[in-house]
Structure 1
Amino acid sequence: MAHLPPNAAIFSPSVARAAASAAKDWSYIDAWLHRKFPRGPPSFERNADTLRVLLALAVANEAADEERAMIARLEAEALDQLRAHQAQSHSQSEPDNNNNNNNPLGDAREAILASLERSLTRDGQIALDSMAALAVQSGIAHPTPPSLAESLIRLTAESLTLEQTLSRLDVLTGYMNREAASTRVLSASLRPPSPSPHQHPDDNDNNAPEAARKPQANDDDDKSSPWQQWQGYHPPPTLALQNLETQRRIKALSSRVPELRDRAKSLSSPTTTSNTPSIEQVRQEEESYLALQAQKQDLEAQVRAFQGLPPDTERARHELESLRAELRRMEMRRDEVFEGLVERASPRKGGGGGRSGLG
């Protein structure tokens, strides 16, 4: 009703109710603004839009005030409970433990943590124990979920790296064992058998008479000796011949080395006479050059004859036909002029006879 003058009479009941509601709202807004600010809004701002905005702002402010008051009340109640718990713990504690209970915040923290731990489910307790064990094994003094996750990821990466290293070492160990086994087999095949440990070197001298008396037995023993039974590595029988042949080929090739070296040098550095042209070659080259130059001039003359023609074939053909027609006309004109000159220069038959009669 701010648009109505102050002395205007209101005859409509609905308008009267609206004016009463607006006046009530403005009184509430004025009281709220008076608590917040020393002065209210100016008179020209008293309209419906301003009233709507101020009402919304006042409602939001009161809701925030109520929320803050509730939080303050809860904090006060929690503080009272903590103080009561502290007093109870002090009254029930023994004299020896008085020094340990001087920190009320620590006691409250322990009580809160104990209550939280008691309220955990079985899965929650398992997870908490796992996190605590991981923190202890990782050596983290103040563990947090991100730090524990980073430590777990790092340990997993190190474990995978060690597993790969172990697998590579296993492969390398197997390869080395196989190579060692093959080396042992090759060494056993190349090594001759050792003599019997019970046989002494002087046994041959002591047993010489017996060997003379029993030649057949000695022959049998020689055949059955380890040296005769050993079937290890033996060089091929043609090894000596192969060595001789190889040495012969080396000597033959060594004797040919200077010759091959001189031949390579002669091939790498060609003689100067092969690069110097002779007089006959110069004359032939000059004649061929002059012939090519004459052919070039003829071709240029032929091309020059078609110099004025257009690039299009049809147009060039038409222009050529027109030039030929003009040439024929010029030839006919020449013939006519020549015939006229001949007739004009030659004497007439009648005139010539009269002159002769007069003479």
Structure 2
Amino acid sequence: MSHLPPSQAIFSPSVARAAASTAKDWSYIDTWLRSIFANSSNSSSNRASRPPPFERNPETLKALLALATANEAADEHREQLARVEEAALEEVRSVEREREERRRRIDARKQKQQEGREEAEEAEEALDGDILATDLLSALESSLSKDGAAALDAMASMAVELGVAYPTPEILGSKFAELQGRAFELEDGIERVDLLRRYLDRESARAETFLAELQHASIFTLPPTLPKQNLSLQRLVKSTSSHLPDLTHQVHSLEKTIGLPSLTVDDVRADEEAYLDLLSRKKDLDAQVRAFAGLPPDIDAARAELEALRSELRHATERRDEDFERLVERESPVKSRRRPRLD
């Protein structure tokens, strides 16, 4: 409850829970800082193990919690690395002990077996080969850096997880690529399922809305004048149906006396063809009339204007012919006349 004044009482359960959670977090931070500064014995370090009052705010608490979490994760990582190194050192020591035991056994066999030196030499060479291989592996492991050893351990653990007997970087890379592809496929499938779920939620919401509207409509009461209107309509239908036979009889009598024209499909087709012919003739006449558009309505004035246009057309035609003749005379080559010879 450090974020509240000391004299202020808490009446809200949510505020009380938040205050209790904040007090618990500050208690955890104080304990963590006390454990960090436990190596210092002076009073200044003890005072520095707790934040000052003006720094006890939510932002500082959030930063210290993140720092404590990162510190604990780093400590766990260092502990795991130390345990791995200790196990590797113990394994190397056991291998060294086995190698020393083998050497002692070889020495004992050399002292006891003076006869059959060839067999002893062959056994010694075999054992020396095993010792050489063990020494070579030990030398390789000891010459590796921490990063190299971590990479080798990661490669070995990956091979064990993937079930690869003879791992190589190429095989592990291909397996890792396959796993990554499967992960992408699963993510795609999850997105599709999420999309389908959202669609189903939307449709279910629409169905619930429609059901609510139906329930509201079922509760709706009919107007009070509806029964009277229904009775009046039924009476009108009955009266009309009673007059229907008389009307039918009148129609039949009119058909017998006057007679209705008999119309067939061929007559309708002939009328349609005649209508289409008239329509085409109308289009032709419209085109012809459109050619005389712009002429005055008076017949004499129209004829005078037509004669004027014709005279203009004749003058233009004559001018065109003259221009063409001049053009031909200008473009045609001049032929020199041959003088007759005087014998």
Say whether the fold is shared (TM-score over 0.5): no
Structure exhibiting the larger radius of gyration computed from Cα positions: 1
TM-score normalized by structure 2?
A: 0.31
